[in-house]
Structure 1
Amino acid sequence: MHGLSTKRNYEWLKHLFLILTCIMLFYPLILMVQISFKDVGQVIYEFFQIKPPFHFENYTKAWNQVSPLIVNSLIMSGGTALLAVLLATMGGYAFGRLKFPGQEIMYWAIFIKILLPGVLNLIPAFVLAWKLGLLDSFWSVILFGAAGALPFWVFVLRMFIAQQPQELFDCAKIDGAGEVLTYRYLVLPLLKPMITLMAINVFIGTWNDYIWPLVTITTPEKRPLVVGLAYLASSFPNDYGPLTAGYAIACVPLALLFIFGMRFFVQGMTSGAIKM
């Protein structure tokens, strides 16, 4: 009986800890949403109270400001994820199964790149984008974002492919498949969970990136959402309702991505953990 009582107390403490953790995580989000329905007077004098009138027009004002920025972020994040997936899967297959001169040197050079802080690349990358004429364009974010994601994911996918049975690739060669067909019909299906995991991670990373788009994109109409939100306060000076409504709208795309992609995300994490 004493052991059972101790176990119940432990379960009660565990659930209490989880409840408190959830409250701390979600309360700022709930507070942001309730502020987004208030005017200036309600924010100042009724900050924690939830009562009418609710100002739904705050969302209309915010949407007019952030909707073009959401499109920009979708283009940049989606383009970066697609390019990174294409190049990383090719690189992972090449390093994992093919033999070519300088393979080990190139692989370890990529591995060392993972260890370097990203901020060290900021000035050289900016100069390179300037010399290539990519500044103030979506390509500056897409190309350099994909390049920044490649070292880690080439390393991960190479490890994943190297763990696959050699017989699979031998059978493909016996059937007359070259490297392109092997990549298309064998490697990509094998990597499907990892590709989904990578695409979600790269998409979110590019969506939340602030420094690189800030220094490379100067035209306000081309800014991504995260950078545009930093300038949103100038559109609504001292009016926190539309401002927080803009922040709330900015959360929706990533929330939808998480809701519909969570199953694939977990599959990718599980596959990577098993194979690595």
Structure 2
Amino acid sequence: MDRIEQDVRWGTPASVRLRKPARPRAWGELAKHAFMILVCLLLLYPFALMLQMSVKDTEQIMYEFFRISSPYHFDNYARAWSEVGPMIKNSVVMAGGSALISIFITAAAGYGFGKLKFPGKEPLYWIVFAKMMLPGVMNLIPSFVLAWKLGLLNSYWAVILFAVGGAQPFWVFVMRTFVAGQPQELFDSAKVDGAGEARIFWHIALPLLRPVLSLSALNVFLGVWNDYIWPLVTIQSFDKRPITTGLAYLSSTHVGDYGPLMAGYVIASVPLFLLFAFGMKQFVQGLTGGAVKL
């Protein structure tokens, strides 16, 4: 009673006086964290299984599948590297080239559709947007015929150029939405100072797009790195094959020799781990920035 009289005397609102102190939801937080830990363990378990298989010979894999025991056959990695090393170089060239070309083209197109005025702007943008509705498998045969007519088969450009083209619709849409959401006064003030469109794009638009560009580069790089069907049908030379088709070929020729094959899979995943380790900050910024703008 004394507390209520004191609150009334000092003019404390009724909503504040009657509010109960919030109790920590300890059990709910515990269940949430336990579920997240369980999901992480389930996701990491196949990779842990692959790691322990990569240091075993065939006999250990067959009779001690879930057990890690000596001797450890680290020479599996040397054998695997001798075969997958050139394939990793090919994948880095294809995925890296696709990511670099894609982010520049999508950024320029997004800036053009978002801030510039030119004839046919809206119809052209909706044509690009409509391309997102087509399933990728529909483009397989027409794209193969086009690559054949252009003489791009059995070359890096067959993967790079068509990966860039496939990434355009979605990322042009994202870049355009992000650029259109920026204050127009920022670009108008640069024009008043005498800056041209190229300078505005390079010094204003690109720095603003940096988080989304990082997200786009990681997405395109990962997509090309893991792509299997398109490199399989366009690249015939073994010395130009990327890591996905190369490992599939090795799994058919090294039947029963799972140790070096698992070591090859581990080596193939290392560049992606490094990429995410050094680009995680930009990746998260791109996700949050894009979510806010979209």
TM-score by length of 2: 0.90
Q: CA–CA distance in 1 between the matches of 2:265 and 2:293?
A: 39
Give 1:237 shift: 2.6
Matched, 1:222 2:240: yes
Give 1:16 shift: 2.5
Please name the residue that 1:94 is paired with: 112
Q: How does 1:31-42 map to 2 (within 5 A)?
A: 31-42=49-60
Please name the residue that 2:94 is paired with: 76
Q: Are residues 61 and 86 of structure 1, via their aligned partners in 2, closer, same or farther at CA, if it must alter by over 3 Å?
A: same
Please name the residue that 1:104 is paired with: 122
Runs of 4+ aligned residues of structure 1 deviating over 2 Å after TM superposition are 3-16, 234-237
| Counterpart code for 2:102 | A
Q: Secondary structure at the match of 2:69?
A: coil
Q: CA–CA distance in 1 between the matches of 2:246 and 2:22?
A: 56
Please name the residue that 2:177 is paired with: 159
Give 1:227 shift: 1.0
Q: CA–CA distance in 2 between the matches of 1:5 and 1:181?
A: 55
| Counterpart code for 1:189 | P
Q: CA–CA distance in 2 between the matches of 1:108 and 1:130?
A: 29
Q: Are residues 50 and 5 of structure 1, via their aligned partners in 2, closer, same or farther at CA, if it must alter by over 3 Å?
A: farther
Please name the residue that 2:160 is paired with: 142
Aligned residues: 274
Q: How does 1:236-255 map to 2 (within 5 A)?
A: 236-255=254-273
| Counterpart code for 2:160 | I
Q: Secondary structure at the match of 1:16?
A: helix
Q: Are residues 188 and 49 of structure 1, via their aligned partners in 2, closer, same or farther at CA, if it must alter by over 3 Å?
A: same
Please name the residue that 2:43 is paired with: 25
Q: Secondary structure at the match of 2:44?
A: helix
Q: CA–CA distance in 2 between the matches of 1:4 and 1:266?
A: 31
Give 1:4 shift: 9.7
Q: CA–CA distance in 2 between the matches of 1:155 and 1:231?
A: 37
Please name the residue that 2:3 is paired with: none
Q: Structure 2: which 5+ residue stretches go unaligned? A: 1-20
The alignment's C-alpha RMSD in Å is: 1.5
Q: CA–CA distance in 2 between the matches of 1:82 and 1:262?
A: 18
| Counterpart code for 1:213 | P
Matched, 1:257 2:275: yes
**Which of 112, 136, 140 does residue 122 from structure 1 map onto?**
140
User: What are the Cα deviations for residues 95-121 of structure 1, in whole angstroms up to 9, with x where unaligned?
Assistant: 111111111111001111011101111
Deviating more after overlay: 109-118 vs 16-25: 16-25
Please name the residue that 1:173 is paired with: 191
Q: Secondary structure at the match of 2:71?
A: coil
Q: CA–CA distance in 1 between the matches of 2:222 and 2:284?
A: 16
Q: Are residues 241 and 95 of structure 1, via their aligned partners in 2, closer, same or farther at CA, if it must alter by over 3 Å?
A: same
User: What are the Cα deviations for residues 215-243 of structure 1, in whole angstroms up to 9, with x where unaligned?
Assistant: 00000100011111101124423111001
Q: CA–CA distance in 2 between the matches of 1:42 and 1:256?
A: 30
Deviating more after overlay: 14-23 vs 147-156: 14-23
